[in-house]
């Protein structure tokens, strides 16, 4: 148990570390005979790197990916020294390359300038440190802009950089029929042929489920680990990891024709009972999660029944229509599930006008985090 004092909070994110581990194991089996890493950037997609990292390590993950140097330093604190940690954003301009090497962090090098800085570090220290080579195959975001550019930079200083991974990133893997997937695989295959001795990594969560199975040597699942659906057009094969519950503060009746929320965006079509819940956009709730007169919104579960959010979410509050529930089922203190086992994360996000990635990574600091592992009979609060 945690030694930290219990701090009550109207919102709680309950995190099932066993489900997280099971999701990684499922993906690891799918990656075979290659390996599966684990992407733990953005504080492990909002659920807490300090707990998620060790849980994934215990499940068998040995290769981890973060976005920034600061995240890499945090991951190094929470993971065993044997853990391999890649920094996807590469060598940050204002960072000292020695900070990466000193902490055994492997930058994903994506430009000639980064390659030069990394090779200069090797020259100063008389030895190389591992890194990845990042080739852009269509994202137009990070990475060498072409195989020719990568080969040219490697010809000038490649021997000194100690690269141990070749990687790229899918643009549209969640849409299996998008032709850009095949185009990217072809470009990446050409790069693999140019650097046959380097292990290769292309597949993100959705990429692992493409028919072409472009997993290669190392997959990089992120969202799917945390319960997100890597196959949006089909049933979610992953277990839910995070469950968000929020307490009701107050209920009231309004008459047909009255409105709810800022700018009077939702109008009651009947006499309605509304429940005000203690979460708003300051807690990461999408402002457009509630229904308006022009569109439906997200649905949450109270007392086992789905109830629509209505009106615009405000900074600290949102409102649900609980007219169809017995009055005693939706009173002050009763908790509503926003997503989890009863409400699919991606369903909640899409009805809110956003994506599950944003919902997870935007979970506010005012929510209490509660971690549990039924297998170990442990429960921790943070």
Structure tokens at 355: 């994506």
Contacts of 238 (CB under 8 A, 6+ apart): 23, 26, 224, 225, 227, 228, 229, 230
Contacts of 382 (CB under 8 A, 6+ apart): 2, 4, 48, 50, 51, 368, 369, 370, 371
* Phi and psi angles of residue 180, each rounded to the nearest 5 degrees, phi first: -65, -25
- Enumerate the active-site residues: 41, 262
CA distances (Å), 313 to each of 265, 276, 290, 376, in order?
Answer: 11, 10, 6, 38
Contacts of 172 (CB under 8 A, 6+ apart): 178, 180, 181
| Helices (H), ranges, the chain | 17-31, 41-45, 49-59, 69-78, 97-102, 112-125, 147-157, 179-194, 345-351, 356-361
CA distances (Å), 192 to each of 42, 149, 188, 356, in order?
Answer: 29, 15, 6, 33
User: In the Cβ-directed half-sphere of 137, how many Cα atoms lie within 13 Å?
Assistant: 27
Q: Going by DSSP bridges, is the β-strand pair 368-373/38-39 parallel, antiparallel, or unpaired?
A: unpaired
Question: Which candidate, 343, 352, 340, 246, places its Cα nearest to that of 297?
Answer: 352
Question: Which candidate, 125, 74, 76, places its Cα nearest to that of 96?
Answer: 125
Angle formed by the axes of helices 69-78 and 49-59, nearest 10°: 60
Whole-angstrom Cα Rg for the chain: 23
Q: Going by DSSP bridges, is the β-strand pair 305-308/299-302 parallel, antiparallel, or unpaired?
A: antiparallel
Exposed, middle or buried by CB within 10 Å (0-12, 13-18, 19+), for 5?
exposed
């Amino acid at each position: 148990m945690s030694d930290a004092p219990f701090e009550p909070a109207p919102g709680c994110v309950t995190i099932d570390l066993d489900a997280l581990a099971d999701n990684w194991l499922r993906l690891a089996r799918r990656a075979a005979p290659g390996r599966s890493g684990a992407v733990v950037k953005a504080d492990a997609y909002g659920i807490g790197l300090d707990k998620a990292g060790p849980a994934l390590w215990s499940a068998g993950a040995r290769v981890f990916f973060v976005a920034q140097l600061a995240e890499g330093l945090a991951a190094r604190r929470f993971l065993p020294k044997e853990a391999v940690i890649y920094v996807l954003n590469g060598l940050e301009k204002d960072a000292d390359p020695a900070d990466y090497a000193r902490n055994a962090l492997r930058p994903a090098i994506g430009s000639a300038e980064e390659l030069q800085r990394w090779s200069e570090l090797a020259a100063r220290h008389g030895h190389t440190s591992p890194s990845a080579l990042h080739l852009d195959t269509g994202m137009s975001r990070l990475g060498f802009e072409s195989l020719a550019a990568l080969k040219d930079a490697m010809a000038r200083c490649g021997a000194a950089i100690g690269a141990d991974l070749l990687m790229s990133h899918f643009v549209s893997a969640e849409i299996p029929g998008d032709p850009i997937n095949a185009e990217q695989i072809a470009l990446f295959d050409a790069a693999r042929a140019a650097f046959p001795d380097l292990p290769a990594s292309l597949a993100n969560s959705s990429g692992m489920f493409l028919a072409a199975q472009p997993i290669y040597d190392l997959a990089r699942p992120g969202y799917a680990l945390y319960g997100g659906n890597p196959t949006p057009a089909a049933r979610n094969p992953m277990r839910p990891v995070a469950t968000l519950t929020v307490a009701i503060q107050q209920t009231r009746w309004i008459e047909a024709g009255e409105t709810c929320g800022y700018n009077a965006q939702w109008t009651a079509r009947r006499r309605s009972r509304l429940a005000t819940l203690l979460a708003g956009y300051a807690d990461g709730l999408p402002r457009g999660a509630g229904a308006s007169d022009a569109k439906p919104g997200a649905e949450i579960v109270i007392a086992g029944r789905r109830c629509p959010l209505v009106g615009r979410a405000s900074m600290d509050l949102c409102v649900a229509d609980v007219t169809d529930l017995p009055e005693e089922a939706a009173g002050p203190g009763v908790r509503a599930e926003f997503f989890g086992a009863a409400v699919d994360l991606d369903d909640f996000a899409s009805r809110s006008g956003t994506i599950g990635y944003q919902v997870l990574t935007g979970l506010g600091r005012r929510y209490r985090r509660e971690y549990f592992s039924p297998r170990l009979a442990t429960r921790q609060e943070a």
